[in-house]
Amino acid sequence: MTRIDAKFAELSAAGKKAFVSYVMAGDPDFDTALEVVKGLPAAGVDIIELGLPFTDPMADGPTIQLAGQRALDAGMTLERTLQLAAEFRKGDDTTPIVLMGYYNPIYNRGVDKFLTDAKAAGIDGLIVVDLPPEEDDELCIPAQAAGLNFIRLATPTTDDKRLPRVLQNTSGFVYYVSITGITGAAEAEAGDVGPEVARIKAATDLPVIVGFGINTPEKARNIASISDGAVVGSAIVSQIAAGKPVEEVLAFVKSLSDGAHAA
């Protein structure tokens, strides 16, 4: 059982929904990002999604793209991202970390070395948005063999014919992308998302978490009420981009987690 599996078991036993937060590793610099990440569990975050900076983030909107560029400009690399996770783990051995990014940096490092190093750094799961199920032998299957969850995205365009393939080797949870398009491009509506979540849950026993387009406590509550939890990324990254002090960023995160947990 991974930390992700244990967290969902704990939440289920308590009758609670999950709140997942995304931050870009190294944005705006290593030390500030580490301070934010260290503060997330106390702000009510159940699972941390840690963005891996990359030069060509095709699934991300301007907010996340710029966060990645700030991190790269500050010298962030895959190696430094794993170091950040390892630093976090020195004080927290229970909060799950999902590394979210693109395959190129992992491929360049070498899959076997990456998986060994990620596991040692305390990474629990991977979301690699540019590896479809047809490429499962590349990373998904080796990752699961190494004890890491491989989390797949389902979208509004994932029809009933495609869904079984998407779910085939997924573990940890299913990430439902509530809108078509890039991150931060539109707002999620529970009325639209609810039937899609129900359709996915009918096909899997895994928790279904909804992300994209959630930017207020009310939206987090509404989305969590029709799913197993909510993910917020761009709205939090925008606070960091605005130069807000870490304590203000974490207070904003707390308001969102309170919303999701009220569902």
Q: pLDDT (tens digit, 9 = 90+) per residue, 22-33? A: 999 999 999 999
- Asked whether residue 158 carries a pLDDT value surpassing 80, the answer given is yes
Res 215: pLDDT: 93
- Asked whether residue 183 carries a pLDDT value surpassing 60, the answer given is no
In the residue annotation, 60 being an active-site residue is answered as yes
Q: How many alpha carbons fall within 13 Å on the CB side of residue 254?
A: 10
In the residue annotation, 92 being an active-site residue is answered as no
pLDDT band at 182 (very low <50, low <70, confident <90, very high): low
Q: What are phi and psi of 258, to 5 degrees?
A: -60, -40
Q: pLDDT (tens digit, 9 = 90+) per residue, 87-141? A: 999 999 999 999 999 999 999 999 999 999 999 999 999 999 999 999 999 999 9
151: Cβ contacts below 8 Å, ≥ 6 apart = 98, 125, 126, 127, 170, 171, 172, 173, 174, 175
- Asked whether residue 84 carries a pLDDT value surpassing 90, the answer given is yes
To 10 degrees, the CA torsion angle through 78, 80, 82, 83? 170
- Asked whether residue 56 carries a pLDDT value surpassing 70, the answer given is yes
pLDDT band at 165 (very low <50, low <70, confident <90, very high): very high
Q: What are phi and psi of 23, to 5 degrees?
A: -135, 150
Domain ranges of the chain: 3-261
Written as six digits, the tokens of 200 are: 């996915």
Res 59: pLDDT: 82
Res 13: pLDDT: 97
Res 227: pLDDT: 97
- Asked whether residue 184 carries a pLDDT value surpassing 60, the answer given is no
33: Cβ contacts below 8 Å, ≥ 6 apart = 23, 24, 25, 26, 27, 71, 84
Mean pLDDT of all residues in 54-70: 92
CA distances to 126, 131, 134, 162, 171 from 140, in Å = 9, 9, 10, 18, 10
Type of residue found at 109: R
Res 28: pLDDT: 97
Ranges assigned E (strand) in the chain: 18-24, 47-51, 97-101, 125-128, 149-150, 153-154, 174-177, 208-211, 229-232
Q: pLDDT (tens digit, 9 = 90+) per residue, 137-147? A: 999 999 999 99
Name the one residue in this structure whose structure tokens are 């207020």. Answer: 216
Mean pLDDT of all residues in 229-241: 97
Mean pLDDT of all residues in 65-78: 97
Distance CA 35, CA 28 (A): 11
Distance CA 65, CA 185 (A): 12
pLDDT band at 54 (very low <50, low <70, confident <90, very high): very high
Q: Do residues 31 and 246 lie in contact, with contact meaning Cβ atoms separated by under 8 Å?
A: no
The DSSP call for residue 151 is P
- Asked whether residue 221 carries a pLDDT value surpassing 60, the answer given is yes
pLDDT band at 213 (very low <50, low <70, confident <90, very high): confident
Distance CA 125, CA 98 (A): 5
Mean pLDDT of all residues in 239-249: 98
CATH for 3-261? 3.20.20.70
Length of the chain: 263
Q: Which of 5, 27, 60, 136 is catalytic?
A: 60
Mean pLDDT of all residues in 2-17: 97
Name the one residue in this structure whose structure tokens are 């970390």. Answer: 97
Q: Which of 5, 27, 46, 49 is catalytic?
A: 49
Q: Whole-structure pTM over 0.75, yes or no?
A: yes
- Asked whether residue 239 carries a pLDDT value surpassing 70, the answer given is yes
